[in-house]
Amino acid sequence: TVGAVARDVRGNLAAGTSTGGTTGKRWGRIGDSPVIGAGTYADNRACAVSATGTGEYFLRAGVAQGICAMMRLAGMDAQAAADQLIVEVGEMGGDGGVIVVSATGETAFSFNTSGMYRGRADSIGLNEIAIFTD
Amino acid sequence: QADWSIAIHGGAGTLSREAMTPEREAEYTAALQAALDAGAEVLRAGGEAQDAIVAVITKLEDDPLFNAGRGAVLTWEGGVSLDASFMRGDTREAGAAAGLSHVRHPILLARAIMEDGRHVFLSGEGAEEFAADHGLEQVETEWFITPRRRDSLEQFRAAQDDPQVSFNEDEEHRYG
């Protein structure tokens, strides 16, 4: 799975996710696709999110929309909201991660796997690529 | 506060340092940096967030290192089943597509569905018909398939014949 989230100079957010699913999947399974609300979500009032991982758990936890709701309604920051939803996914038995950009341009990664291929950049000069947890 | 910002991912999983050679790590790092640069360039030039998303994801979909577009994992039958979704935060318009095997860039189809505005989520043959009607590039399924993913499917199928592994797989795949 690959994904991106962005905030442009006008303050608009967007999110996108694209995936090949899982090896050997059958029966027209679509639970591992990035369903809107679970794997992908964007709301200028809060954040934009793209997820990767065992999709069915992200559906059941309502991960992407849940992160935005926690930020908008409970005032959580992007990292705290993302961490909480990834913990919930893990408690159900799922794994994976999310990338988040907030309405104010803050970016966050959260994942419960040993690594996630990831990167981020901004207008201030941040430019980083990482793979493993540390 | 930053004027613009972007974050990208190329998937998460059981990545172990032991299995990652310096050469392979350099390949992934370079691919991620190229995709990040493509998105950042759009934003730096004053472009829209949604155009930055497209710039990043179309690049990653064409890169066989990642499980999306070319280089996607294979289904049980040996084909591909690609999915994508897209959403903009100002209007909360959204589009998604599932079960694709001919659309070169599924993310462009997800965006086209969003912009068309009649539906949010299309699947299978109907989604591909929609893609063709909107002039999106179509390719033969073989274009997506790489030797690495074919090997993975063969190993996966072989594991189904191993009683111990089959048991574990069954336990592992209780998602519902």
What pLDDT is attached to residue B119? 97
Q: Regarding predicted confidence, which is higher, B167 or B94? A: B94
Which of A2, A22, A57 would you mutate first to test chain B, the one with the most B CBs within 10 A? A2
**How large is the average pLDDT for residues A15-32?**
93
- Predicted pLDDT of residue B105: 98
What is residue A71's predicted lDDT score, i.e. its pLDDT? 98
Task: Read off φ and ψ for residue B55, nearest 5 degrees.
Answer: -60, -40
> Which tokens in the block code for residue B137?
């590039």
Beta strands in B14-159 (DSSP E): 82-88, 94-100, 121-123
Residue B100 and residue B122 in contact, taking contact as beta carbons nearer than 8 Å: no
Report pLDDT digits (tens) over B27-80.
999 999 999 999 999 999 999 999 999 999 999 999 999 999 999 999 999 999
Does the annotation mark A23 as catalytic? Answer: no
CB contact set of B134 (below 8 Å; sequence gap of 6+): B109, B112, B116
Pair B65, B141: CB distance under 8 Å: no
Interface list for A 77-116 with B (CB within 8 A): 94-97, 99-101, 103-109, 111, 113-116
Q: What is the pLDDT of residue B161?
A: 74
DSSP secondary structure string for all residues of chain A: -EEEEEE-TTS-EEEEEEE---TT--TT--TTS--BTTTEEEETTTEEEEEEE-HHHHHHHTHHHHHHHHHHHH---HHHHHHHHHHHHHHHT--EEEEEEETTS-EEEEESSSEEEEEEEETTS-EEEEEE--
How confident is the model over B133-148, as a mean pLDDT?
97
Contact A97 B12 (CB under 8 A): yes
Give the model's pLDDT for residue B164.
Answer: 65
Q: Tens of pLDDT along A52-65?
A: 999 999 999 999 99
pLDDT band, residue B172 (cuts 50/70/90): low
Residue pointed to by tokens 């290192």: B65
Who's near B21: CB < 8 A, 6+ residues apart? none
Indicate the pLDDT class of residue B167, thresholds 50, 70 and 90. low
Residue B171 pLDDT exceeds 80:
no
Residue B15 has a pLDDT of 75
**What value, to the nearest 5°, has the Cα angle with vertex A69 and ends A65 and A73?**
175
Statement: residue A88 has pLDDT above 60: yes
CB–CB of A20 and B123 under 8 A?
no
Q: 24-83 in A: which are within 8 Å (CB) of B?
A: 24-26, 28, 30-36, 39-45, 47-48, 50, 52-57
Whether the Cβ atoms of residue B138 and residue B104 lie closer than 8 Å to each other? yes
pLDDT recorded at residue A82:
98
Distance, CA of A67 to chain centre: 8
pLDDT of residue B33: 98
* C-alpha distance from A65 to closest chain B C-alpha (Å): 11
- pLDDT confidence bin for B160, thresholds 50/70/90: confident
Query: How much is the average pLDDT of A83-94?
Result: 96
Token pair for A130: 């990482």
User: Rounded CA gap, B34 and B21, in Å?
Assistant: 20
- Look at residue B13 in the predicted model and tell me its pLDDT: 78
User: Which residues of chain B make contact with A13, given a CB cutoff of 8 A?
Assistant: 49, 88-90
CA distance A64 to A41: 5
Residue type, B169: E
> For a pLDDT cut of 90, what percent of chain B falls above it?
82
**Predicted pLDDT of residue B173:** 60
Return the pLDDT at B122. 98
Cβ pair A50, B85 in contact under 8 A: no
Max Cα–Cα distance, chain A, nearest Å: 47
Mean pLDDT (whole number) for B136-158: 95
Q: Is the pLDDT of residue B16 over 60?
A: yes
Tokens for A117, please give them.
Answer: 């291929």
Kindly indicate the confidence band of residue B170, based on its pLDDT and cuts at 50, 70 and 90.
low
Q: How far apart are CA A41 and CA B88, in angstroms?
A: 8
Q: What is the pLDDT of residue B151?
A: 94
Residue B84 CB: number of other CB atoms within 10 A?
34
pLDDT of the residue at A31: 87
Question: Judging by beta carbons within 10 Å of its beta carbon (0-12, 13-18, 19+), is residue B173 exposed, middle or buried?
Answer: middle
